[in-house]
Structure 1
Amino acid sequence: MTDCKGGEFQMRTYKVAIVGTGGIAAVHADNLARTGGRAELVAACDVDESRLQAFGDQHNISGRYLGLTELLAEAKPDIVHLCTPPMLHIDQAIECLEAGAHVLSEKPPALSLADFDRLETAQAKGGAQFSCVFQHRFGDASAAARSLIGAGDFGRPLVARCDTLWYRPDSYWDVPWRGTWAAEGGGPTMGHGIHQFDLLLHLLGPWEEVTALASRQARATSTEDLSVAIVRFANGAVATVTNSLLSPRETSDIRVDCEFATVELSHLYGYGSNDWTITAAPGHEDPVRNAWESQPLELGSGHSAQFLAMYDALDAGQPLPAGADSARQTLEFAAAIYASAFTGKTVRRGEIVPGHTFYSGMDGDGLGTRVLNSTATAATAVA
């Protein structure tokens, strides 16, 4: 196998451990089995021993641990997948990185920018790298769209929208840690729409400013159940971003209108190449169609696609895809939505720094809770 500079490198098989054995862990284990022998699942960890044993039996995992420290010392994995509740991600990531194990963390990577910025020291100490599970970035169609948006045949991006319109009943929040700032860092902006707007950022590049609102329309949660943002990008494109848990007809959509082509993706929880639609402007049909059809469009999106990209990067000694720098851009975008929604001001990229109210938490030191409570009370009074 050759790297991007034509050099040769060895394809390795990586020892992988999964921490947390709930529903998303099963997705990881199933997708690891689809990597063609590139990964060996050697260990799992959970504080619930019965769940750990059931998971280990189901996926034929020999190393089973009740604590992360013991797992790192004995199993010595190359990569640790963090499939635990959000409030645990950052401290577990730091422990793994300091022990020299690469980290692939489920979203959100941290509950605040302040916590996330602790990763820099941990990566330097252990010589390992951090990556976040943003699986929608991966796959042939995503790569094709990213390369063509802004290029000659499609033209520069002008207008976009990004919708995560999902539905969660009140019973969804029966799990104690859901729907709280302390455990999840926020509502659908942090826990649900983050995948889709991460893909939008991946396609369109750096964002410049955000104007947003957030509200608690109907759900029994202390966070928002809806947020809407207007975003301006560095390339001049303007987008709307909606994150909802109130939408009975669930869908995830991205649309980017370029000068000569519209790029659309519509799916739910994962997509293949057939979920993309390309529409040419009048008079541009042939170059737009030829540009899209000339791209490789076989590999679909998903966890296994990200895993394989991660292994290729490690093989070549390259930075991990969806690494700390780009994951931080996505987390900063989420923070900007909250900061704008709860202050009523436009927030610019780079504005939320140490000392800023929203640097240490998406709730803005309680401001978000007060705003949501007041708007919810007003809405109840009107009803």
Structure 2
Amino acid sequence: MSTPSPAAGPPTGPVRVALVGTGNIARFHAEALRSLPEQAEIVAAVDVDTEALSAFRSRFAVPAGYTDLTEMLDRERPELVHVCTPPGLHRSQVEACLGAGASVLVEKPPALSLAEAEKMAAAEGGERGPWMATVFQHRFGSGARRVRALAEAGVLGRPLVAACHTTWFRPQEYFDVPWRGRWETEGGGPTMGHGIHQMDLLLSLLGEWTEVSAVARRQARDIETEDVSLARVDFAGGAVASVVNSLVSPQEESRIRIDFERATVELVHLYGYGDDNWRITPAPGYEDEVTAAWEGGEWGTDSGHRAQVSQVLAALRGGTAPPVTSAESLRTMRLVAGVYASAFQGRPVTPADLGPESPFHTRMDGGGVRW
């Protein structure tokens, strides 16, 4: 692997951005970038599907199109690349971009395994970049930022009990796409590819996890991976959480609830939230203090891609590593690996159990399907 090209310093104007992959998720990236014209300029798109590439370029007025990533990097010299391809392609594409001196914003999950994610992080350029950030946009809505601010200020007291449930529905036809539902190309089922957003948000609110005990099942779908997982997760701060990830739930919902000493905070939504999706219930005796702090907090930003993209662009223009850093995304990936390791080994798992000697470090299924 080549050493990343030396960083040329922070962009002096709008960040030159390229997108790799022009499928449905790339649309959200392009819309976010187009809404920030003073911060970003889309210079190119890459896709092996020439029809999809042409349609994407036309829709978003992208000046250049390529079917080869290396050629695009060499000719366009983007400062940031949004990687919006299936998970099995992420590592090679991210490393190619970093090697060419471009920072990367990669869709979730960033890699198929902890080992891959660590190698991608090792390809970063250090303090001056280029850097890799992962799309975990739910951290950036004003509701989540308000909860973190109140928790850090001590207004809510200690977190005690939490629930993090991603209960969605995907029919069997959804998995007819060849790369879906397979360990080799998707890395896992709903724990890896769907509930990871909610799990990342939970970790951003509660901090380091210390132990997980889990089960995984194939309840209804004919796939290699699980379609359901359930876990108990312990946190360093003393909280304990139930985590459910499902693709067999006809009534779809994404829910996080945290019972702090002085209030219950609850988020109920589906694929993204606004301020109206949050609710706070103060404990008796704390109504005035908690309500005043809640109403006086940050408001007005939903959890769409724009919230994170704007912060990524601002960080790059300021010469600093963009959020969510590789270290932070590794913490979330480590919890995903912990769920699988616990489920397939039938025992509690800690972060220390997931080092290079663990089979779950190199593959989320531990090297073989356990059904």
> Shorter-chain TM-score: which interval?
over 0.9
Structure 1 residue 28 displacement after superposition: 1.0
* 2:164 aligned residue (135, 158, 162): 162
Contact 1:250 1:268 in 2 (8 A): yes
| 2:119 equivalent in structure 1 | 118
| 1:321 equivalent in structure 2 | 323
Hey, what's the Cα distance between the residues in 2 that align with 1:23 and 1:14?
Answer: 23
Contact 1:264 1:278 in 2 (8 A): yes
Instruction: Confirm or deny that 1:213 pairs with 2:222.
Output: no
Hey, what's the Cα distance between the residues in 1 that align with 2:121 and 2:174?
Answer: 34
Going from structure 1 to structure 2, the CA distance change for 1:12 and 1:299 (only over 3 Å counts) comes to farther
Structure 1 residue 11 displacement after superposition: 7.5
How is 1:266-305 mapped onto 2 (pairs within 5 angstroms)?
266-305=268-307
Structure 1 residue 283 displacement after superposition: 1.3
Hey, what's the Cα distance between the residues in 1 that align with 2:186 and 2:178?
Answer: 11
* 1:342 aligned residue (344, 360, 371): 344
Structure 1 residue 10 displacement after superposition: 8.8
Q: Which amino acid aligns with 1:278?
A: I
Structure 1 residue 321 displacement after superposition: 1.1
Contact 2:158 2:260 in 1 (8 A): yes
Structure 1 residue 74 displacement after superposition: 0.7
Hey, what's the Cα distance between the residues in 2 that align with 1:152 and 1:20?
Answer: 43
Contact 1:35 1:307 in 2 (8 A): no
| 1:375 equivalent in structure 2 | none
How is 1:61-80 mapped onto 2 (pairs within 5 angstroms)?
61-80=62-81
How is 1:36-51 mapped onto 2 (pairs within 5 angstroms)?
36-51=37-52
Q: Secondary structure at the match of 2:359?
A: coil
Hey, what's the Cα distance between the residues in 2 that align with 1:59 and 1:328?
Answer: 32
Hey, what's the Cα distance between the residues in 1 that align with 2:81 and 2:258?
Answer: 35
Contact 1:35 1:308 in 2 (8 A): yes
Contact 1:13 1:38 in 2 (8 A): yes
How is 1:91-106 mapped onto 2 (pairs within 5 angstroms)?
91-106=92-107
Q: Secondary structure at the match of 1:117?
A: helix
Q: Which amino acid aligns with 2:148?
A: R
How is 1:1-383 mapped onto 2 (pairs within 5 angstroms)?
12-124=13-125, 127-149=129-151, 151-366=153-368, 369=369, 371-372=370-371
Structure 1 residue 318 displacement after superposition: 2.3
Q: Which amino acid aligns with 1:45?
A: V
Going from structure 1 to structure 2, the CA distance change for 1:105 and 1:312 (only over 3 Å counts) comes to same
Contact 2:11 2:316 in 1 (8 A): no
Structure 1 residue 36 displacement after superposition: 4.4
Of the structure 1 ranges 24-33 and 247-256, higher mean CA displacement relative to structure 2 is found in: 24-33
TM-score w.r.t. structure 2 length?
0.95
Q: Which amino acid aligns with 1:208?
A: T
Contact 2:141 2:273 in 1 (8 A): no
Contact 2:255 2:269 in 1 (8 A): yes
Structure 1 residue 147 displacement after superposition: 1.7
Q: Secondary structure at the match of 1:350?
A: helix
Q: Secondary structure at the match of 2:70?
A: helix
Identity rate, percent: 51
Q: In the TM superposition, what whole-angstrom CA distance separates every residue of 1:258-293 from its partner, at most 9, and x where no partner exists? A: 000011101111111111001000111000001111
TM-score w.r.t. structure 1 length?
0.92
Q: In the TM superposition, what whole-angstrom CA distance separates every residue of 1:141-180 from its partner, at most 9, and x where no partner exists? A: 1111112225432101000000000000000011011000
Structure 1 residue 341 displacement after superposition: 0.2
Contact 1:180 1:221 in 2 (8 A): yes
Q: Secondary structure at the match of 1:340?
A: helix
Hey, what's the Cα distance between the residues in 2 that align with 1:330 and 1:77?
Answer: 28
Structure 1 residue 316 displacement after superposition: 2.4
Contact 1:137 1:301 in 2 (8 A): yes
Q: CA RMSD in A?
A: 1.4
Hey, what's the Cα distance between the residues in 1 that align with 2:352 and 2:241?
Answer: 19
Aligned length: 361
Going from structure 1 to structure 2, the CA distance change for 1:289 and 1:10 (only over 3 Å counts) comes to farther
Contact 2:129 2:321 in 1 (8 A): no
Structure 1: gaps spanning 5 or more residues = 1-8, 373-383
Q: In the TM superposition, what whole-angstrom CA distance separates every residue of 1:225-260 from its partner, at most 9, and x where no partner exists? A: 000010000000000000000110101000000000
Structure 1 residue 348 displacement after superposition: 0.5
